Amino acid sequence: MELVKQGVTPHQLALTITLGAGFGMVPFLGLTTILCTFWALRLRLNVAFTILIGYLMQPVQLALYVPFVDLGQTIFPVTPIPFSLEKLSLMFQSDWLLALQQLWFANLLGVVAWLLCSIPLGVAIYFLSRKMLYRLLPAQPAA
């Protein structure tokens, strides 16, 4: 924890937590690392800690994958894809290319639903964590 806090303001640490948690829930496997790295570098945050938080959110990412895709299919007027193993197997047996296209599109709708949900959630996480960090971390002397 000392390495995480070293030379970092509560604002930067709260932003790191917010980005790691938010990008850790994106319903697109493998995108977490890219998003965390890009935005941490762009905002000059602790890249390793941002990615670590993103990885710690993977159980939440997996748990929310289907709900985000379902929400995306509900928001937009599309025919929903069934998420049962039996129906997905039948889809792939009948036409695997069409099934792959439908799953890709459903996943894209899930990412849009995640984006709509993650903005208010991210704001809440940021302000709550920043308030807690200002209380927990000692004030750093001005350079």
pLDDT at res. 3: 54
- pLDDT (0 to 100) of residue 88: 84
pLDDT at 138: 67
Tally the residues of the chain.
Answer: 143
Give the orientation angle of helix 58-75 with respect to helix 47-56, to 10 degrees.
70
Pair 73, 81: CB distance under 8 Å: yes
Per-domain residue ranges of the chain: 2-136
pLDDT over threshold 80, residue 45: yes
pLDDT (0 to 100) of residue 123: 96
pTM, rounded to two decimals: 0.81
